[in-house]
Amino acid sequence: MRLKRRAVFAVRLAAIVLVVIFIGSFSVAQEKQVIKVTAKKFEYSPSTITVKKGVPVVLEFTSLDRLHGFDCPGLGIRSDINPGKTNTVEFTPQKAGTFEFHCDNFCGTGHDKMRGTIVVTE
């Protein structure tokens, strides 16, 4: 009988510890910043994307016309941007600064001018 009571106590204690760990993991998880970016000949909207150093970012890309690309070598980010589809890229900027991105899927006469910047603030 005494042994059974101890076992019940141990199980309850374990359950409480698990709940505390579970809740704790939520408060530690950092909010992600979700930014929608649309592409069309020959521009991105927004063309300037401002994010914060150390805060996780999700970029959600969609194209309004044809296949484009998103290449930001300074931050090591690249994605295709397909019409009728959402491509996502997740990253956490580790350095502050201004990083240029451009379209790397040839999309027509204005392709070379299809660019923008990611600004990472401290």
Binding site for Cu ion (CB under 5 A): 68, 103, 107, 114
Nearest distance from residue 102's CB to Cu ion, in Å? 9
Question: How would DSSP label each residue in 6-49?
Answer: HHHHHHHHHHHHHHHHHHHHHHHSPPPEEEEEEEETTEEESSEE
User: Which is nearer to Cu ion, 63 or 93 (by Cβ)?
Assistant: 63
Amino acid letter for position 15: A
User: Which is nearer to Cu ion, 43 or 55 (by Cβ)?
Assistant: 43
Nearest distance from residue 96's CB to Cu ion, in Å? 28
Nearest distance from residue 111's CB to Cu ion, in Å? 5
CB contact at 8 A, 37 and 55: no
